[in-house]
A = this chain, B = another copy of it.
Amino acid sequence: MRVLGVDPGLTRCGVGLIDGAPGSALNLIHVGVIRTPADAELGARLVTIDRELAKIIDEFEPDAVAIERVFSQHNVRTVMGTAQAGAVAILAAARRDLPVVLYTPSEVKAAVAGNGRADKDQVGAMVTRLLRLSEAPKPADAADALALAICHIWRGGGKARLAAAVQRMGSKP
């Protein structure tokens, strides 16, 4: 299963693609950051994010897209930009009929570092180890995007195995 993780943001939108399945090795396919200038118009920034995400989806053909769920408890200024960039990512995926799953930051941290309160360094270290990289992906947005993809592979995989087990039970003679 190939998953695109997106850590949404207007200034920096992290994107990470991983191939993997629960219980087997994870493979890094692509990692990057879509940047838009803070002094550009909001519409132009959203168009850039939409266009770059479309390129990535069309080139790498993920099976699903995992996006960080935005909460409005945080900084009022940044949360709006994050919500707007996130909406563009959700739309880009849904327009192509790709399944979209949203994960909270603590779900992602719990999945990759075993602790919902893990800090950025721990998440970066685990992403580096799980993908057998020589150093942590920079900036943190890129590492977070990869963590989102890993979270989805592991959690989605768990659901898939459960569904398969239920199906086996149902098809018993």
Chain A residues within 8 Å of B, Cβ to Cβ: 41-44, 46-47, 50, 70-73, 76, 79-80, 83-88, 90-91, 93-95, 100, 102
User: Closest 7 A-B residue pairs measured CB to CB?
Assistant: A43-B94, A84-B87, A87-B87, A83-B83, A43-B100, A46-B91, A72-B72
Q: For A88, what are the chain B residues with a Cβ–Cβ distance below 8 Å?
A: 87-88, 91
User: Per DSSP, are chain A's interface residues mostly helix, strand or loop, or mixed?
Assistant: helix
Which one of B73, B87, B95 lies within 8 Å of A83 (CB-CB)?
Answer: B87
Copies per complex? 2
CB distance from A69 to the nearest CB of B (A): 9
CA of A87 to CA of B91, assembled, Å: 10
Q: For A94, what are the chain B residues with a Cβ–Cβ distance below 8 Å?
A: 41-44, 46-47
Which one of B42, B50, B70 lies within 8 Å of A100 (CB-CB)?
Answer: B42
CA of A128 to CA of B114, assembled, Å: 58
